[in-house]
Structure 1
Amino acid sequence: MQSRLRVQGHPIQPMLVTFPYGLFVCATIFDLADVVGGPVFLGEVGYWTAVAALVAAALTTIAGMVDLWDVPPDRVRRTAITFNLVNAGMAGLFLISCLVRADAPNRGAAPALLVVEVVALAIGGVGVHLGSRLMRHFESASTEAAGFDALRGVDAPTAEVVRPRP
């Protein structure tokens, strides 16, 4: 099985999924700094970082849904669906946090919202585990199907060596 959305032979969703995860972690760190007494602007930075992560999560979910079209109905498909649902659950908790903070002054985080974000990151940890299982499955399937050609990578054009005549 090959992903429909690819860049130079590599599936897009595993590349995209790093953005929302990284941004959600950064948003939580900014909010933690705001809650423990850091500068006021860190709460707003955390808010907008979470908003950027939600946009990235939406794009990643779309890529994941496109890839699901080709997965046969078996255990791998259930794992892929669970992976997407876990990621959606994590994004949903951050969405709740953002909606609560949308009208707040300086969009600062509260301790209760920080707890919600930490729970969301724990759920995201389950998503990381499921995603790594999926990648191992798809990598083994692609190397078995392609043989040694998959290990060689992109072939660079070779220059023809012209030797002078004696």
Structure 2
Amino acid sequence: MQSRLRVQGHPIQPMLVTFPLGLFVSAAVFDLIDVVGGPAFLGEVGYWTGIAALVAAALTAVAGMVDLWDVPGDRTRRTAVAFNLVNAVMAAMFLLTCLVRSHSPQRGASVAILVTELVALAVGGVGVHLGARLMRQFDTGRTEVGGLDALAGSTGEIARP
């Protein structure tokens, strides 16, 4: 199965997934610091980082839906659907926290918001596991060459300028 959205032979969605995940983790870290007594502006930084993560998650979801179109209707499709649903649940939980915070003038975090974000990150951990399983299913039978062997041509010689 080949992804429709590729850059130099590599599927785009696995690359895009790192952006919302990293931003969601960063938002939770900023909020943790805000809750434990750090500078108040870090709560607002956490809020805006969460907003950026939601935008990145939406773009990643679009790429995931395009890729889902070509997934065969077997175990791989079930894993792909579960992966996308789990990521959607994580994003929905962060969306909920952002909506709650949007009514606050300083958009600071509370303990309840932080707990919700930590639960969302745990859900995201399940998504990471499913994504790794999905990549193994897609790459079955495909071998990756790493290191200097990747520079070798079909004759086995290392390409020299």
TM score, norm. by length of structure 2: 0.89
Kept in 1: contact 2:47–2:98 (CA 8 A)? yes
Distance 1:153 1:92, change over 3 A: farther
RMSD: 1.9
* Paired amino acid for 2:60: T
Q: Note the 1:3-152 alignment, pairs <5 A.
A: 3-143=3-143, 152=150
What do the CA deviations read for 1:43-80 (whole angstroms, capped 9, x no partner)? 00000000000000001111011001111111110000
Query: Which amino acid is 1:105 matched to?
Result: P
Query: CA–CA distance in 2 between the matches of 1:153 and 1:139?
Result: 20
* Superposition deviation, residue 106 in structure 1: 1.1
Runs of 4+ more than 3 Å apart: 151-159
The alpha carbon displacement at 1:137 in A equals 1.5
Q: Is the 8 A contact 1:5 1:63 kept in 2?
A: yes
Unaligned runs of 5+ in 2: none
Task: Give the conservation status (yes or no) of the 8 Å contact 1:2–1:142.
Answer: no
Give the secondary structure class of the aligned counterpart of 1:140.
coil
State the shift of 1:153 in Å. 6.6
Q: Report if aligned partners of 2:152, 2:159 keep a CA contact under 8 Å in 1.
A: no
What residue identity is the alignment partner of 1:6? R
TM-score by length of 1: 0.86
Deviates more, 1:11-20 or 1:134-143: 134-143
Residues 93 and 117 in structure 1, CA contact (< 8 A), matched pair in contact too: yes
User: Deviations along 1:87-108, whole A, 9 cap, x unmatched?
Assistant: 0000000000000000202100
Taking the aligned partners of 1:5 and 1:99, their CA distance within structure 2 comes to: 32
Find the aligned partners of 1:124 and 1:89 in 2 and give their Cα distance.
Answer: 8
Quick one: distance in 1 between partners of 2:124 and 2:151?
Answer: 32
Structure 1, unaligned stretches of length 5 or more? Answer: 160-166
Instruction: Report Cα offsets for 1:1-49 as digits up to 9, x if no partner.
Output: 1000000110000000000000000000000000111101000000000
